[in-house]
Amino acid sequence: MPIDAETLALHVEAHGPFLFHVTDARHREAIMRGGLRPGSELGRFVRDDFFRTRSGHVYLCDRRRGVPVVPVEGERLTLQVDLRQLDPARFDTDEDVPHTHQTFQGNRWFDAVPPERRMLDNTTEAPGQAGRLAAWADSITEFDEPEFAARSLAAGRVAYRGTIRPESLNVVELPSEVVETFATRACDLLNVADGGGVPTLAFNDVEADRALAIAQRLLDAGLRALGRPPLTTDTDLSDPMKAYYLEQDIRRVGFDKNRADEWGPRDLAFALADLAQAVLDFDRSLGWDPDACVAIAECAASCLPHIAAAAGDETAAVLARTVAGANA
């Protein structure tokens, strides 16, 4: 028995009763009629590469770090799963969790060394590796023992053996944390009621693009308010060196304004420099980082009062709504 009812109850008390599953929206009617079945039973796998999942399992994850990393071929369907209605005896370890902990954090769960995913380049996997991670998990006798299943659940990812019944499922549309953070913070700082529309939480690449797009729009507006040219079309904020030089350049403007006793432009320049620094701190090559993307959104919103001081309250409010709406 992987975990007991008390362990599950303690998890629900600490983290809430829901995890999520993301799938192709074309399967919605079948799922709500017959339940969420393991893809292996249906002859389907979300991905047929190194990360192909173990047979007989449905995979559940948390909203923040898990939902955005699940790839889907078509339109995304997000299902909220009520853990209180599941059988704790069917909870198994999600192989991604110990693999990540052992490979990237040096936190070893098992004596067996996890396989290494071989890549031809940053985006192309070397052939012949489909299911290697699942095979590694299946080769470890104690992989789904209570200790490890509970640790997997605590990390926000768990595998569930068998079908999850329809009554345990609810279709939801989760908001983009990046855009929601920006819009909410903008409303608070500008004291307005409408911060713009918030789109549905998307795949992590889209969420990262949203964060950088928000940064770009606020940097452009802030630079114009300082009387400086906006970013050029070839200023790729995902390029660390370009973000670095941008941050340095804007901060120098802040120091110049400080020496000239121009306090408003100084504060705006330093806020924009902090935003450029937040962009620099987000390294997409390391994978999905919701903390870094939210930090970008927060720093972008923090520029708005300074833009309001330079260009007017209405200009800043329209900018906030336009930026949020552009990501809808």
At 282-291, the pLDDT tens digits run: 988 878 899 9
Whether residues 109 and 205 fall in one domain: no
- Give how far the C-alpha of residue 306 lies from the chain's centroid of Cα atoms, to the nearest Å: 28
How far apart (Å, rounded) are the C-alpha atoms in residues 129 and 284?
Answer: 24
- Choose the final residue of a domain: 172, 205, 220: 172
The pLDDT of residue 145: 95
Q: Quick one: pLDDT band at residue 3, thresholds 50, 70, 90? A: confident
- Choose the final residue of a domain: 138, 157, 172: 172
Q: Rounded mean pLDDT of 164-184?
A: 96
**Contact 99/114 with Cβ under 8 angstroms?**
yes
Whether residues 240 and 317 fall in one domain: yes
At 60-79, the pLDDT tens digits run: 999 999 999 998 888 999 99
pLDDT > 70? residue 266? yes
Q: Quick one: pLDDT band at residue 26, thresholds 50, 70, 90? A: very high
Whether residues 103 and 223 fall in one domain: no
Supply 25's token pair. Answer: 């929206």
Whether residues 152 and 191 fall in one domain: no
Averaged pLDDT score across all residues of the chain: 92
How far apart (Å, rounded) are the C-alpha atoms in residues 267 and 45?
Answer: 52
The pLDDT of residue 232: 67
Whether residues 195 and 255 fall in one domain: yes
- Choose the final residue of a domain: 130, 150, 172: 172
Specify the amino acid at residue 162.
G
**pTM of the model as a whole:** 0.90
Whether residues 191 and 148 fall in one domain: no
How far apart (Å, rounded) are the C-alpha atoms in residues 105 and 95?
Answer: 15
The pLDDT of residue 1: 58
Whether residues 130 and 18 fall in one domain: yes
pLDDT > 90? residue 41? no
Whether residues 262 and 286 fall in one domain: yes
The pLDDT of residue 92: 97
Maximum alpha-carbon separation in the chain: 70
**Contact 176/200 with Cβ under 8 angstroms?**
yes
Domain count, the chain: 2
205: which residues sit within 8 A by CB, 6+ positions away?
none
200: which residues sit within 8 A by CB, 6+ positions away?
76, 78, 173, 174, 175, 176
- Tell me which of 297 and 3 has the higher pLDDT: 297
How far apart (Å, rounded) are the C-alpha atoms in residues 292 and 20?
Answer: 22
pLDDT > 70? residue 328? no
At 222-253, the pLDDT tens digits run: 999 999 888 866 677 878 888 899 999 999 99
- First CA to last CA distance, the chain: 44
Handedness of CA 49, 50, 54, 57 (dihedral sign): negative
Cα Rg for the chain, rounded, in angstroms? 23
Q: Rounded mean pLDDT of 26-52?
A: 88
The pLDDT of residue 104: 84
For 24-76, the DSSP string reads EGGGHHHHHHH-B--HHHHT--S--STTPPPTTEEEEE-TTTTGGG---SSSE
How far apart (Å, rounded) are the C-alpha atoms in residues 274 and 287?
Answer: 22
- Domain extent for 53: 5-172
At 111-132, the pLDDT tens digits run: 999 999 999 987 899 999 999 9
Supply 292's token pair. Answer: 């870094």
Angle at 97 between CA 96 and CA 101, to 5 degrees: 115
Whether residues 120 and 199 fall in one domain: no
Whether residues 117 and 196 fall in one domain: no
Q: Quick one: pLDDT band at residue 263, thresholds 50, 70, 90? A: very high
Q: Rounded mean pLDDT of 303-308?
A: 97
Whether residues 11 and 155 fall in one domain: yes
Whether residues 130 and 269 fall in one domain: no
Q: Rounded mean pLDDT of 89-105?
A: 93
Lowest mean pLDDT among 32-46, 84-98, 177-191: 32-46
- Give how far the C-alpha of residue 298 lies from the chain's centroid of Cα atoms, to the nearest Å: 15
For 182-238, the DSSP string reads HHHHHHHHHT-S-----PBP--HHHHHHHHHHHHHHHHHHHHHHTT-----TT--TT
The pLDDT of residue 216: 92
